[in-house]
C-alpha cells in the first residue's frame, strides 16, 4: 500500500549492496555398492576467489586434495556411506538402501543452506514487519504530521495495516518455502531468461518469468487476500494503479473523507523524474536516534548516502526485502539409471539422471540463522533383480514404485513374518500366483493382499489383474430389520 512505500525506499537505497552469485557448486552423485560417490566442483564466479578456509574445510571432509581445474575451480571426489557430508553448507542428508530377493530400493534426501526452525523464522519476519511499521509511521509523521487526516492514516497503519502486512509476510514465507520443498531452486531455467547462470542484466526478466510460471499458486492467494481486505480490484492491483490504491487506503481503509491534501502530497513526492521521495526518506532516517547512534561509529568524512545505506542493511526488514540471499548457484545430478518412483527434481531420461538446478542462499559466514527452510532435494527409486525375477516369473514383474514399496515393506516385516513370506515366495511363480490370494501372515485376520497394499500390487504385477474384492462377511441383520 502506498502509505507503506518505505518498502521501496529500503530496496532503492540498499540495492547497491545486494549480492550476486559468488560461487557455483556442481554436485554429481552416483550410488556404488550402497555408498554415495560425490563429485563436487566448486567455482568462484566473476573472478571472486574461493575462501581458503572453505577449501581447507572441503579437503578435510573429502580427505583428499582437490583437482584444480582452473584458476578458481576445484573438484573434490569422495565416497560416503549413510549420512551425506556438510560440504556445501547448512545442510544434511542421507542415502538409505534396503534389499529384497526381487530388487533394491534407494532413498536419497539432502538439504542445503537453510534453517529448520520455522517458528523462529516467522517470529523474525513478524518482528521485521513491526520494525517497518515503526519506520513508516515515523517517516509519515515527519512528512504529514501537521496535515488533515494524518491521525486517521497513522491509526490505520498501526492497526489494520500492520495486521494485513503481517499476513502478507507470512504468505511470502510460505511461497518461498513451498518452492524449496518442491525442489524449485530459485530461479530454475526460465523462458526467455536462460539458465540459472544468466547474466545479471537478464535477472529482472528472469524474475518476472518465474513469477508468471507460479502465478497460479501463492501469488494468487496473496492477490485475493488484498482484494478481500478491500485494497482494490483484480484489475487495479494487477495494473499497480498507485493513485487508486492510495486513494482507496485513505478513504475506504483509514476513513479520511477528504484526502485531497494527502493525495496531492503523494503525487508530488513520488514524481518519477524528480525523485523527492528518496531525499525525503534519507532526511528522515538521519533524524532518528538509532541512525545517529550508528553514524557515530563511522569515520569522519564518510559519504553521507553510503552511511544511510549501510544503516539500512542493519535493519531486520532489509533481510526480507532484498534479493541478496540468493548468492550461490547449485546444480545437483543424481545418477539413478531408472526413472525415480518419486522425486522433486527433474528426470533426464537421456542421461539417467535426476537434476536440480538453481540458486541457493549464500553461505552464512557469520553463523547467523538463515531466513528460510533449507532447500530440499529428494528422490526414491528401485532397481529390480532382473535375473531373479525372470527366473521365477518369466519376466520382470516388479519395478519402479511397486518394487520400491514392496522392498521397503519387506524390510519392516518382523523376523517371523519375513521368514514366513520367504518360504512362501520360494514356491510362487506366474502359473500359481493365485495362491497369493490366500496367503495370510500369522496373527493377521485377513489375507496379505487385503491387509497390505504392496502385496496387492505384487499380485497385480504378476497376474495382470487386480485383487478380487474380499467376500462380504455374513453378519446377522440389525434388530428389527429383515
User: Is there a domain that residue 389 lies in?
Assistant: no
Of the candidates 425, 427, 426, 437, the one whose C-alpha atom is nearest the C-alpha of residue 463 is 437
User: Is there a domain that residue 480 lies in?
Assistant: no
State whether residue 139 is helix, strand or coil. Answer: helix
Within a 10 A sphere around the Cβ of 95, how many other Cβ atoms?
Answer: 20
167 in the same domain as 244: yes
183 in the same domain as 280: yes
∠ CA 389-394-400 to the nearest 5 degrees?
Answer: 45
Instruction: State the pTM of this model.
Output: 0.74
User: Is there a domain that residue 392 lies in?
Assistant: no
Residues 378/108, Cβ–Cβ less than 8 Å? yes
Tens-level pLDDT at each residue, the chain (482 residues): 334 444 433 333 443 344 455 789 999 999 998 999 999 999 988 777 888 888 999 999 999 899 999 888 999 999 999 899 999 987 689 999 999 999 999 999 999 888 888 898 888 888 888 988 999 899 989 988 888 888 998 999 999 999 998 998 888 888 777 766 655 554 444 433 344 443 333 434 444 444 444 444 667 788 888 888 888 777 767 665 666 677 778 888 888 888 888 877 777 776 655 567 778 888 898 899 888 888 887 766 666 667 888 887 777 676 665 444 447 889 999 999 999 999 999 999 999 999 998 888 777 766 667 778 888 899 999 999 999 999 999 999 999 999 999 999 999 999 999 999 999 999 999 999 999 999 999 988 899 999 898 899 999 999 999 999 877 654 444 444 43
Beta bridge partners of 331: 26, 357
Q: Going along 237-350, which residue ranges are E strands?
A: 326-335, 342-343, 346-348
105 in the same domain as 241: no
451 in the same domain as 349: no
Residues 115/372, Cβ–Cβ less than 8 Å? yes
User: Is there a domain that residue 479 lies in?
Assistant: no
Choose one of 321, 342, 360: the last residue of a domain: 321
∠ CA 136-137-138 to the nearest 5 degrees?
Answer: 90
Choose one of 341, 367, 384: the last residue of a domain: 384
Residue listed under C-alpha cell 531466513: 371
191 in the same domain as 63: no
User: Is there a domain that residue 39 lies in?
Assistant: yes
How far out from the chain centre does Cα 58 lie? 25
Q: According to DSSP H, which parts of 348-474 are helical?
A: 386-393, 400-412, 415-426, 448-451, 453-463
75 in the same domain as 13: no
Backbone angles phi, psi at 190, to 5 degrees: -120, 150
User: Is there a domain that residue 407 lies in?
Assistant: no
107 in the same domain as 159: no
- The strand pair at 103-112 and 375-384 is best described as antiparallel
Give the DSSP H or E segment for 68.
strand 67-70
Of the candidates 165, 22, 156, 164, the one whose C-alpha atom is nearest the C-alpha of residue 88 is 22
Gyration radius of the chain over CA positions: 30
User: Is there a domain that residue 79 lies in?
Assistant: yes
306 in the same domain as 207: yes
What confidence score (pLDDT) does residue 143 get?
86
Q: Cβ-count burial of 22 within 10 angstroms (0-12 exposed, 13-18 middle, 19+ buried)?
A: middle
User: Is there a domain that residue 125 lies in?
Assistant: yes
Residue listed under C-alpha cell 514356491: 427
Total domain count for the chain?
Answer: 3
Terminal Cα-to-Cα distance of the chain (whole angstroms): 69
Choose one of 295, 321, 347: the last residue of a domain: 321
235 in the same domain as 374: no
Q: Going along 336-432, which residue ranges are E strands?
A: 342-343, 346-348, 353-361, 375-384
Question: How far is Cα 482 from Cα 478, in angstroms, rounded to an integer?
Answer: 8
Residues 6+ apart with CB under 8 A from 198: 206
Range of the domain at 426: 413-463
453 in the same domain as 427: yes
- The strand pair at 67-70 and 73-80 is best described as antiparallel
228 in the same domain as 140: yes
96 in the same domain as 31: yes
Amino acid at each position: 500500500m502506498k502509505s507503506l512505500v518505505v518498502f521501496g525506499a529500503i530496496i532503492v537505497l540498499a540495492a547497491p549492496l545486494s549480492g550476486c552469485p559468488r560461487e557455483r557448486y556442481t554436485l554429481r552423485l552416483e550410488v556404488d555398492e550402497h555408498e554415495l560417490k560425490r563429485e563436487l566442483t566448486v567455482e568462484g564466479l566473476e573472478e571472486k576467489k574461493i575462501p581458503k578456509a572453505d577449501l581447507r574445510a572441503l579437503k578435510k571432509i573429502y580427505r583428499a586434495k582437490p583437482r584444480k581445474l582452473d584458476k578458481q575451480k576445484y573438484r573434490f571426489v569422495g565416497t560416503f556411506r549413510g549420512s551425506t557430508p556438510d560440504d556445501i553448507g547448512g545442510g544434511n542428508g542421507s542415502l538409505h538402501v534396503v534389499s529384497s530377493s526381487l530388487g533394491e530400493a534407494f532413498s536419497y534426501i539432502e538439504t542445503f543452506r537453510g534453517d529448520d526452525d520455522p517458528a523462529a523464522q516467522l517470529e523474525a519476519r513478524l518482528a521485521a514487519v513491526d520494525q517497518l511499521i515503526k519506520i513508516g509511521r515515523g517517516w509519515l509523521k515527519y512528512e504529514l504530521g501537521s496535515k488533515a487526516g494524518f491521525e486517521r492514516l497513522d491509526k490505520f497503519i498501526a492497526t489494520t495495516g500492520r495486521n494485513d502486512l503481517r499476513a502478507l509476510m507470512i504468505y511470502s514465507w510460505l511461497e518461498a518455502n513451498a518452492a524449496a520443498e518442491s525442489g524449485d531452486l530459485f530461479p530454475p531455467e526460465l523462458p526467455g531468461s536462460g539458465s540459472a547462470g544468466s547474466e545479471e542484466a537478464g535477472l529482472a526478466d528472469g524474475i518476472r518469468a518465474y513469477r508468471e510460471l507460479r502465478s497460479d499458486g501463492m501469488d494468487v492467494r496473496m492477490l485475493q487476500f488484498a482484494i478481500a481486505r478491500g485494497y482494490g480490484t483484480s484489475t487495479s492491483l494487477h495494473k499497480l494503479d498507485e493513485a487508486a490504491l492510495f486513494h482507496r487506503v485513505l478513504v475506504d481503509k483509514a476513513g479520511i473523507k477528504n484526502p485531497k491534501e494527502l493525495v496531492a502530497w503523494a503525487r508530488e513526492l513520488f514524481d518519477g523524474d524528480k525523485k523527492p521521495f528518496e531525499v525525503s526518506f534519507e532526511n528522515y532516517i538521519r533524524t532518528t536516534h538509532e541512525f545517529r547512534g550508528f553514524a557515530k561509529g563511522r569515520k569522519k568524512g564518510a559519504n553521507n548516502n553510503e552511511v544511510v545505506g549501510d544503516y539500512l542493511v542493519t535493519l531486520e526488514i532489509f533481510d526480507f526485502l532484498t534479493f541478496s540471499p540468493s548468492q550461490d548457484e547449485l546444480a545437483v545430478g543424481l545418477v539413478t539409471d531408472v526413472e525415480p518412483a518419486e522425486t522433486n527434481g527433474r528426470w533426464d531420461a537421456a542421461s539417467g539422471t535426476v537434476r536440480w538446478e538453481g540458486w541457493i542462499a549464500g553461505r552464512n559466514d557469520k553463523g547467523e540463522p538463515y531466513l528460510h527452510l533449507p532447500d530440499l532435494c529428494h528422490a526414491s527409486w528401485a532397481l529390480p533383480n532382473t535375473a531373479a525375477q525372470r527366473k521365477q516369473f518369466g519376466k520382470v514383474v516388479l519395478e519402479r514404485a511397486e518394487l520400491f514399496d514392496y522392498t521397503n515393506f519387506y524390510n519392516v516385516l518382523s523376523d517371523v513374518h519375513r521368514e514366513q513370506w520367504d518360504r512362501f515366495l520360494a514356491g510362487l511363480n506366474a502359473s500359481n500366483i493365485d495362491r497369493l490370494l490366500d496367503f495370510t501372515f500369522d496373527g493377521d485376520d485377513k489375507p496379505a493382499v487385503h491387509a497390505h497394499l504392496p502385496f496387492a500390487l505384487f499380485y497385480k504385477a504378476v497376474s495382470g489383474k487386480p485383487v478380487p474384492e474380499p467376500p462380504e462377511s455374513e453378519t446377522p441383520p440389525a434388530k428389527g430389520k429383515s
